[in-house]
A and B are shown apart, each in its own frame.
Chain A
Amino acid sequence: MIQGNQFNIGHICTRQQCEAGFDDKVAMRWLALNQELVEYTFHDLELASNRFANALTSLGLRSGDVFFTFLPKMPEQFIAFLGALKARMVTGTLFSNFGDEALLDRLGDARAKCIITKKSFLKKIGRIRSELPELRYILLVDGEDNSLHGILNYKELMETASPDFETPLTDSDTPSVLHYTSGSTGKPKGVLHRHKSVLHQNRTAAEVLGLHGDDIYWCTADQGWVTGTSYGIIGPWSLGVTQVHFAGAYDAPAWFDILEREKVTVWYTAPTALRMLMREAPVIFTGRDLSQLRHIFSVGEPLNPEVIHWARRTLNRDIYDTWFQTETGGIMITNRPGLDIKPGSMGKPVCGIEAAIISDDGLPAPNGEQGNLCLKSGWPSMFVTYLNNDEVYRQKFRNGYYYTGDTAYKDVDGYYWFMGRSDDVINTAGHLISPFEVESALLEIDEVAESGVIGAPDDLLFEKVIAFVHLHDRYEWSRELELKLRLHVANKVSSIATPQEILAVDSIPKNKSGKIMRRVLKARYLGTDVGDISTMEI
């Protein structure tokens, strides 16, 4: 796939496809909310991303500068992403539902120079702009110029930019994509990848998802998520495959209209969406002509066996669960066509990936025994650092293995089985939520003296966010206060982080060092044994 040592992802996904004879091939079938179709050929993507790369360059932005997209799913996001990569900028994608604090943490840590967004999100950036001295330009896809504040009109920039751009030769180690991920403590960490990652994303898109020339492929993931970039942009376009992208969120009838009408052949979606589909009236699925749909894949949280059984009954298809992380950049362990599915398992490692279950003492765990899920370091899409936090990055590696933070076991047949996280990070609908971030946001409200946040099992979301708050004595719990807390978390952190339940309690259990004992909160919430509480502060 690599030609002339050119590893640039933007180049490979556009120019290289044109040079391979795919100029006129449809790269993207863009479906607006009303399902109006606009097609973009690889030639269209090439010219538009060239213009964007030229626009960034004309603003004085340089290789290595950090650029972010902060947009809902829309064509400009894909063009900007590819164009920024062509200009060799470090390119991050932000979920459009992020609040002020989440934005500030990410833009500030990355020292972002430029961001592309839309008018309705401008207020959020405006409120934190004074704390982002390095942010020089805000490109608005739907607003007017305000050059005094570095706000520039995207359409005008694109109109004046040349469609010719010669992507500089980009070696494999050049930094490329940046995604932030949450930990159980501290601020979110910037997971930095390099252009070499395209090797793994390309290979797994072909060998796991089975994509090839004539496929019509649909990945429902948001581009704020690593799946949305690795397999919603890079993998399929590096193979010259036509992708469907839809502006809307989950909508069962609309989704099945799309699968049928667009003749989607490979569909990559999320367990939460599949579980929601299971609850829909069967009339949505019956009578559909899904004869073109070859494979369905899933990613984000463990796929429960019930979903696989439902898909076999209702859609007459298997669903192949895949596992990877922001840090891994691509699929590592997976179910795939040709491999017998053991419902509920993660599957087996991808060819070339060496996984291991390692006990806390550093020794390999015997088959069937739970331990730390680890990966032998050195795969092409392995992250290269946590931005500005190399020490934490190094702590993730021991004896040549990357410790994923997940716990699992391997059975005698070599299948891996996910057991949980080894930290307190909450996985809700495939999004990792830091309890620390939510606790911090809650503490910003005057009425709250202490807060503790946990993830609890949920049939639909895999885990739901549950918050406990201890109020200052002079305040009383009320529904108005609950709303205030919910809105604060939604607007400061993100709507995804908004607790499903907020419970007022007399105190938050802490150990003698003042650390919140989330396992005690969790046990109390679930009504299970709280275990050893000898270190709890009384």
Chain B
Amino acid sequence: MLTPIFREVFDDETIELRRETTGDDIDMWDSLTHMNLVIAVELKFKVKFALGELLTLKNVGGMLDLINKKNERLS
């Protein structure tokens, strides 16, 4: 469910996400595009990340788990 967002944010249709995917695997993923990614994920999943939470994320799997945890809390 994150793949379309990543493809749009990083303007790369070839992106195939895995839980282990990190910023090192995507050429355009830098600190500046990361902010765009955060906004896009927040809008799509109607969640809000705290700065501290973002700093602990190591990979796509971590982001997915965090989104799920936040949505569970809301439901």
Query: Which residues of chain A have a CB within 8 Å of any CB of chain B?
Result: 33, 72, 96-97, 99, 118-121, 123-124, 248-250, 479-480, 482-483, 486-487, 490-491, 495-496, 498
Contacts and interface: CB of A to CB of B under 8 A. Distances in A.
Identify whether the interface residues of B are mostly helix, strand, loop, or mixed. Answer: helix
B8 A487 contact: yes
B39 interface: yes
B24 interface: yes
A72 B13 CA distance: 18
Closest 8 pairs (CB-CB, A-B):
A495-B32, A491-B11, A33-B24, A495-B33, A483-B39, A120-B27, A486-B36, A498-B32
Nearest to B12: A120
B75 interface: no
Interface in B1-45: 8-9, 11-14, 24, 26-28, 30-33, 35-36, 39-40, 43
Contacts of A250: 31
Contacts of B39: 479, 482-483, 486
B40 A483 contact: yes
Nearest to A479: B43
Contacts of A124: 11
Contacts of A121: 27
Interface size class of B (residues with CB under 8 A): 10 to 19
A194 to B, nearest CB: 32
B24 A490 contact: no
8 contacts: A97-B33, A120-B14, A121-B27, A123-B14, A124-B11, A248-B24, A479-B43, A490-B32
A96 B12 CA distance: 13
Contact of A97 (B13, B14, B28, B35): B28
Nearest to A480: B43
- Mostly, the A contact residues are helix
Contacts of B35: 486, 498
Given A33-B24, A250-B31, A490-B32, 15 more contacts: A97-B28, A120-B14, A120-B26, A121-B27, A123-B11, A123-B12, A480-B43, A483-B39, A486-B39, A487-B8, A487-B9, A495-B30, A495-B32, A495-B36, A498-B35
Nearest to B32: A495
Contacts of B30: 97, 249, 495
Contacts of B33: 97, 490, 495, 498
Contacts, number: 58
B36 A483 contact: yes
Nearest to A248: B24
A340 B11 CA distance: 48
Contact of A498 (B27, B36, B43): B36
Most buried by A among B26, B32, B39, B43: B32
Interface in B42-65: 43
A118 B12 CA distance: 12
Contacts of A482: 39
A451 B31 CA distance: 25
Interface of B: 8-9, 11-14, 24, 26-28, 30-33, 35-36, 39-40, 43
Contact of A96 (B9, B13, B27, B31): B27
A487 B13 CA distance: 15
B64 to A, nearest CB: 20
B36 A119 contact: no
A483 B28 CA distance: 17
B56 to A, nearest CB: 14
Contacts of B27: 72, 96, 118, 120-121
Most chain-A Cβ atoms within 10 A of its Cβ — which of B9, B11, B31, B39?
B11
From A118, A119, A120, residue with most partner B Cβ within 10 Å: A120
A248 to B, nearest CB: 7
B29 to A, nearest CB: 9
Contacts of A248: 24
Nearest to B39: A483
A118 B28 CA distance: 12
Contacts of B11: 99, 123-124, 487, 490-491
Contacts of B32: 97, 490, 495-496, 498
A98 to B, nearest CB: 10
Best-surrounded residue of A97, A118, A487 (most CB of chain B within 10 A): A487
Nearest to B8: A487
Contacts of B40: 483, 487
Nearest to B38: A483
B46 to A, nearest CB: 11
A490 B43 contact: no
A482 B32 CA distance: 15
A480 B5 CA distance: 13
B58 to A, nearest CB: 13
B32 to A, nearest CB: 4
Contacts of A479: 39, 43
Contacts of A99: 11
Contacts of B13: 123
B17 to A, nearest CB: 14
